[in-house]
Amino acid sequence: MISLHNVSKNFAGFQAVRSVNLTIPQSEIHGIIGASGAGKSTLLRLMNLLELPDTGEVVVNGQPLTSLKERKLRQARMSIGMIFQQFHLVLNKTVYENVDVSLKLGGMPKAQRQKRVMECLQFVGLENLKDKYPAQLSGGQKQRVAIARALANKPQVLLCDEPTSSLDPDTTIGILGILEDINKNFGVTIVLVSHEMDVIQSICHRVTVMADGGIYDTVSIKPKGISKVSSDPRNFFEQLKKGGEADDA
Amino acid sequence: MPEILLQYQDEIWRSIGETMVMVGVSIAAAILVGLPVGTLLYLCRKGQIYENPVVFSTLNLVVNIIRSFPFLLLVVFLIPFTRLVIGTAIGTAAATVPLSIIAIAHYSRLVEQSLLDVPRGVVEAAISMGASGKDIIFKFLYVEARSGLVLGLTTSIISFISYSTIMGVVGGGGIGDFAIRYGYQQFKTDLMMYMILVMIILVQLIQFTGTTIARKIDKR
Ligand SMILES: Nc1ncnc2c1ncn2[C@@H]1O[C@H](COP(=O)(O)OP(=O)(O)OP(=O)(O)O)[C@@H](O)[C@H]1O
Ligand SMILES: [Mg+2]
């Protein structure tokens, strides 16, 4: 569960997020959509205090992050996974090591870590690539490593900042499928930031629309299913043809 | 073996030994002090995890001042300090003091540069995983910057060799001093040439080793 009370953030006078109130219940997949610069990423980064709010309170998994001391905050962050558009893997670590490091931070003994790393890699279907380096992987595979890394500490919340925005449609479907599985199998609350309506509509239970740093509205939707994200080449063709006709007219 | 080398072999070996001591101590200072100072420069910068304008500007200024001295003047300027630390300002041990100071200033700057090359996102990912400052440095920054750190150290070591050649002014000895005193000042041009050759081989060897290691450990 995540609640934001009256949360604001400004960057050198620019109000990126303005007094937002938002509650996301446990096990919900919550979409955040809006134009570029609307404040989606900033709002997401406020949820694990990657950005410190100027005002307001951030409560995640029952803990008021905004009033925690540094050590407690770090512990709380271990229960909040995060993945990014650009993956942000450690390129000098193997796939295995990238997942392992997040467990090392929590001080887990080696034997247990080994077991957990392999579990996570199996979950995202990468156990065979465990000794590869990120530079040897495709974008979709890199995002899977990032997901495995975020899952390693069994988080209750997973924050996703445009996780599919640099991937092609087929790969996007794969990643969305994994996110949906994480939600269904482990009850993880997922916050999914995207500017692609297709992506948001496919798996989200509720969607917040942002504009100018504020919440325009939050609506419940019925997830359309992942197959509705267009990967069929005929869809591209149809869209191109439509564009062409518009030009002709 | 040319006769002149045999004739001077004791002095040559001693001067090589002196160079090794001076450069060795410089390397130790660079790693033990320069690496932490460079890391602190990076961490205290604006927007970094331990952002601290006072610490940053102070360190930055000191490093710049040390590096802007013509090295010979730095050696002279430091004589009182050297005397305080070593007990004398003359000899190989005394020479290691100014060398260590320039080594720290030199390498810390290169460390800072290598760390700045690590993508911001990697640090953010580390923070989001709950990493402490120490974890971020050792488990993320140094891992991702390691080939830059090695290449920087290689460049630094080659500079240290060059700096060490003028330590003759305070009786530090070394290959460079030998080449000047015996080769240049006593008009034994062939001896001077041999010593230059030794330096060239040394530098080539270090550069080759550094580049090879850096390439091997770079998986990016
Ligand atoms: N660290 C920062 N310093 C200064 N301005 C920032 C910073 N981070 C974000 N901003 C500004 O805040 C506003 C909101 O940024 P944010 O990244 O949250 O938008 P977004 O909705 O995620 O956009 P996009 O779809 O382009 O990712 C933008 O105008 C951006 O320029
Ligand atoms: Mg964004």
A50/B220 touch (CB, cutoff 8 Å), yes or no: no
Distance from CA of A219 to the nearest CA of B (A): 28
Cα dihedral A217→A221→A226→A229 (10° resolution): -50
For residues B102-116, b (16+ Cβ closer than 10 Å) or e, as one string?
Answer: bbbbbbbbbbbbbbe
Ligand approaching nearest to the C-alpha of A20: 1
A88/B122 touch (CB, cutoff 8 Å), yes or no: yes
Q: Tell me which residue in B131, B132, B144 faces A91 most closely, judged by beta carbons.
A: B144
Q: What is the pLDDT of residue A235?
A: 61
* pLDDT tens-place string over residues B41-83: 999 999 999 999 999 999 999 999 999 999 999 999 999 999 9
Q: Tell me which residue in A74, A104, A134 faces B139 most closely, judged by beta carbons.
A: A104
Q: Tell me which residue in A105, A133, A134 faces B131 most closely, judged by beta carbons.
A: A105
Distance from CA of A84 to the nearest CA of B (A): 8
Report yes or no: B130 at the A interface, CB cutoff 8 Å: yes
B218/A92 touch (CB, cutoff 8 Å), yes or no: yes
B220/A91 touch (CB, cutoff 8 Å), yes or no: yes
Q: Estimate to the nearest angstrom the gap between the alpha carbon of B154 and the chain centroid.
A: 8
What is the pLDDT of chain B when averaged over all its residues?
95
B130/A105 touch (CB, cutoff 8 Å), yes or no: yes
**Which chain A residues are within 8 Å of B127, Cβ to Cβ?**
50, 77
**Which chain B residues are within 8 Å of A146, Cβ to Cβ?**
125
Distance from CA of A12 to the nearest CA of B (A): 13
Q: What is the pTM of this model?
A: 0.92
- Residue pair B144/B118 in contact by the 8 Å Cβ criterion: yes
Strands (E), A164-213: 189-193, 206-211
CA of B40 to the centre of ligand 1 (A): 28
Q: What is the DSSP letter of B49?
A: T
Q: Which of B115, B202, B108, B119 is nearest to B153 (CA)?
A: B108
Instruction: Mention every residue, 6+ apart, whose C-beta is less than 8 A from residue A191.
Output: A2, A24, A30, A32, A44, A47, A157, A158, A159, A160
Q: Tell me which residue in A75, A82, A133 faces B219 most closely, judged by beta carbons.
A: A133
- Judged on CB neighbours under 10 Å (0-12, 13-18, 19+), A119 is middle
Q: What is the pLDDT of residue B185?
A: 87
Average of per-residue pLDDT across B19-42? 98
**Domains present along chain B, CATH in parentheses:** 18-172 (1.10.3720.10)
Ligand 1 shell residues, CB under 6 Å: A 11, 14, 16, 34, 36-42, 195
Reported ipTM: the value is 0.91
Number of A:B CB contacts under 8 A? 72
* pLDDT tens-place string over residues B100-144: 999 999 999 999 999 999 999 999 999 999 999 999 999 999 999
**Domains present along chain A, CATH in parentheses:** 2-79+156-248 (3.40.50.300), 90-154 (no CATH)
Q: What percent of chain B has pLDDT over 70?
A: 100
* pLDDT tens-place string over residues B175-209: 999 999 988 888 889 999 999 999 999 999 999 99
Cβ atoms within 10 A of the Cβ of B145, count?
A: 22
B219/A91 touch (CB, cutoff 8 Å), yes or no: yes
- Residue pair A148/A182 in contact by the 8 Å Cβ criterion: no
For A226, the token pair is 């992942």
| Rg from Cα positions in chain A | 19
Angle formed at CA B172 by CA B169 and CA B174, multiple of 5 degrees? 105
Query: Which residue in A has a C-alpha nearest to residue B119's C-alpha?
Result: A88
Q: What is the pLDDT of residue A249?
A: 42
Interatomic CA distance for residues B128 and A44, integer angstroms: 12
Nearest CA to ligand 1 atom 30: A37
Interatomic CA distance for residues B175 and B154, integer angstroms: 19
Q: What is the pLDDT of residue A162?
A: 97
Q: What is the pLDDT of residue B184?
A: 84
pLDDT in tens, chain A (249 residues): 999 999 999 999 999 999 999 999 999 999 999 999 999 999 999 999 999 999 999 999 999 999 999 999 999 999 999 999 999 999 999 999 999 999 999 999 999 999 999 999 999 999 999 999 999 999 999 999 999 999 999 999 999 999 999 999 899 999 999 999 999 999 999 999 999 999 999 999 999 999 999 999 999 998 888 876 765 656 666 666 766 655 544
Interatomic CA distance for residues A210 and A22, integer angstroms: 12
Q: What is the pLDDT of residue A234?
A: 61
CA of A214 to the centre of ligand 1 (A): 13
Report yes or no: B201 at the A interface, CB cutoff 8 Å: no
